[in-house]
Amino acid sequence: QLLRDLGFPLPPAGDITPLTALEQIDDLYAQWIARRNQLNYEVDGLVIKINDRPLADSLGYVGKDPRGALALKFPAQEKNTKLLNVVVNVGRTGVLAPAAELEPVEIGGVVVKNATLHNYDEIARKDIRLGDTVVVKRAGDVIPYIVGPVVELRQGDERVIELPTHCPACGAPAGRVPGEVALYCDNPACPAQLVRRVEYFVSRGAMDIETFGAQTAALLIEQGLIHDVADIYTLDRSALLALEGFQEKKVDNLLAGIEASKQAPAGRLLTALGIRFVGSVVAGLLLDDLGSLDALAAADEARLMTIEGIGPQTAAAVVAWFADERHQHLLHKLRQAGLQFALTRPGQTLDTLAGLTFVITGTLPTLTREEAKALIEQHGGKVTGAVSKNTSYLLAGEKAGSKLAKAGQLGVPILDEAALRAMLSP
């Protein structure tokens, strides 16, 4: 009622529909597809939830997704508009990715001006041309992309989209990797690539350095303060203070975030290096088996392919990355900076949380429940499933359930992810 009094558009109480049989879901879904455009706010689907909080909580999570709820998305909305231009974006691995600039069009309450074109083979396959009227769809009602041209509306002055011959950022020749559709800039010193690599390195899913975004990365590279990601750890306070807009508080927060990231687990560092095909899941597989970046660097393709989930493409990419002298120099600098190169094994626990018992509930910003549990146990803590008078802390994220209320009743201290990380900082 408070939200209604404040003027927020909310669904009427009747729009929360109790169901008694699974067969009713299809009918309800069809009804809402017909009704969605009659609302005075945007909706992109239904959420079907178990109407029993303790039962829903007992089902647990898959990653960050609760088993007690299911999202049913509506079909993506489409609109026609003009393709005005195609620009080339440079990725952290050197991929030259085409992006569409569009005549602005409203789709699902959002004005869309840009859309992905995936790659140049896809452009050719769909025969998309500059000046075309194109069909634009918001995939998942989030990411706009071009479905294809409306051929019957062509005027005859549309132009074929040419493949770039050079990188738009550094001018290096563009080329293809055999067996791949993407075009690449092959210049490792390309400033646009470096900005993307630094941006990825400091991102939440990697080293998680707060206040260090793309604009900061671009400025520090432009000013010659960063030449690779390891230079982040040798940034000088006085040099930062000399930059426009960098006041003492901002600089101190940035440097504190950089210092804190030195304690990030080795899996985050491996992810942050940006090796092709090595995201957080693959990084976990590699380190769970080999234990350290040093062991990974020493492994050949045959050894890597003995690890479940690692195929020949990933194995080849990892071996090639570690064989590169530039990367060996980068790793040396990161080691000198004090980053974590080895996985803490069970039995090799630290004692920061020794004697403390934790319960985890809700969705954490960057950690899955399994990762949070492993982090606590690596530092000597214990994780249980139920809140009791013996619980030392409740680690709570978004959409925390009945455990949060129970902790409040028992006076159990409540932590968020940031507070947990602060406890682990030296």
Domain ranges of the chain: 2-73, 78-160, 191-263, 266-337, 357-424
Distance between CA 110 and CA 107 in Å, rounded? 5
The identity of residue 251, as a single letter, is V
Cβ neighbours of residue 370 closer than 8 Å, sequence gap 6 or more: none
The CATH label, of 3.50.7.10, 3.30.930.10, 3.40.50.10190, 3.40.1190.20, for the domain at 357-424 is: 3.40.50.10190
The DSSP string of 24-68 is HHHHHHHHHHHHGGGSSS---EEEEE-S-HHHHHHT-EETTEETT
Kindly give the pairing relationship between strand 382-384 and strand 357-361.
parallel
Phi, psi for residue 231 in degrees, rounded to 5: -65, -15
The CATH label, of 2.40.50.140, 1.10.3470.10, 1.10.3720.10, 3.30.200.20, for the domain at 78-160 is: 2.40.50.140
Phi, psi for residue 238 in degrees, rounded to 5: -65, -35
Looking at the structure, give the CATH architecture of the domain made up of residues 2-73.
2-Layer Sandwich (3.30)
Could you give the count of Cα atoms lying within 13 Å of 79 in the half-sphere of its Cβ?
A: 19
Question: Do the domains spanning 2-73 and 266-337 agree at the CATH topology level?
Answer: no
Check if the beta carbon of residue 375 is closer than 8 Å to that of residue 344. Answer: no
Distance between CA 272 and CA 100 in Å, rounded? 29
Domain 266-337 homologous superfamily, CATH:
5' to 3' exonuclease, C-terminal subdomain (1.10.150.20)
Q: At what angle do helices 191-201 and 214-222 cross, to 10 degrees?
A: 140
Can you name the CATH fold of 191-263? DNA polymerase; domain 1 (1.10.150)
> Is the model's pTM score more than 0.85?
no
Burial 332-349 (b: 16+ CB within 10 A, else e): eebeebebbbebbeeeeb
| DSSP 8-state symbol, 164 | P
Q: Where are the beta strands (DSSP E) in 140-246?
A: 143-149, 159-160, 174-176, 183-185
In 127-245, which ranges are continuous DSSP H helix?
191-201, 214-222, 237-241
How would you write the pLDDT of the chain (426 residues) with one tens digit per residue?
788 889 887 777 667 888 999 999 999 999 998 888 787 777 888 999 999 989 988 888 776 678 899 999 888 889 999 999 999 999 999 999 999 999 999 987 789 999 999 999 999 999 999 999 999 998 665 689 999 999 999 999 999 999 999 999 999 999 998 888 999 998 988 999 999 999 999 999 999 998 898 899 999 999 999 999 999 999 999 999 999 999 999 999 999 999 999 999 999 999 999 999 999 989 999 998 888 898 999 999 999 999 988 999 999 999 999 999 999 999 999 999 999 998 866 555 567 888 999 999 998 887 788 878 878 887 888 888 889 999 999 999 988 888 999 999 999 999 998 889 888 765
